[in-house]
Amino acid sequence: MNRAKVDTQRDERAKRESQIVIEAERVAREQKTARLKALRLAAQQAEPEPTKPKRSARRRDLS
C-alpha cells in the first residue's frame, strides 16, 4: 500500500488561515453582542418602569 504524500506546508497554511477566520468571526460576534447590549440598556433607560395598578382590598361580610 502506498501512502499519499502529505503537503505539511499546505496543511499548516490552511490551519493558520482557518484560525484567522475563526478569530475574526469571534471578534465580530463579541462586538455585535456588546452593541446590542448597549442598545438594550439605552432602551431600558429611555422608557420609565411600568407601574402596576394597585388592587383595592375587598372586605367580605361574613355575617
Q: Provide the grid cell at 62.
A: 361574613
Q: Provide the grid cell at 3.
A: 501512502
The average pLDDT across 42-48 equals 85
The full set of domain ranges for the chain reads 8-46
Centre a 10 Å sphere on the Cβ of residue 58 and count the other Cβ atoms it contains: 5
Q: Provide the grid cell at 12.
A: 499548516
- In our burial notation (b when 16+ CB lie closer than 10 A, e otherwise), range 19-54 reads eeeeeeeeeeeeeeeeeeeeeeeeeeeeeeeeeeee
Mean pLDDT of the chain: 86
- pLDDT tens string 18-39: 999 999 999 999 999 999 999 9
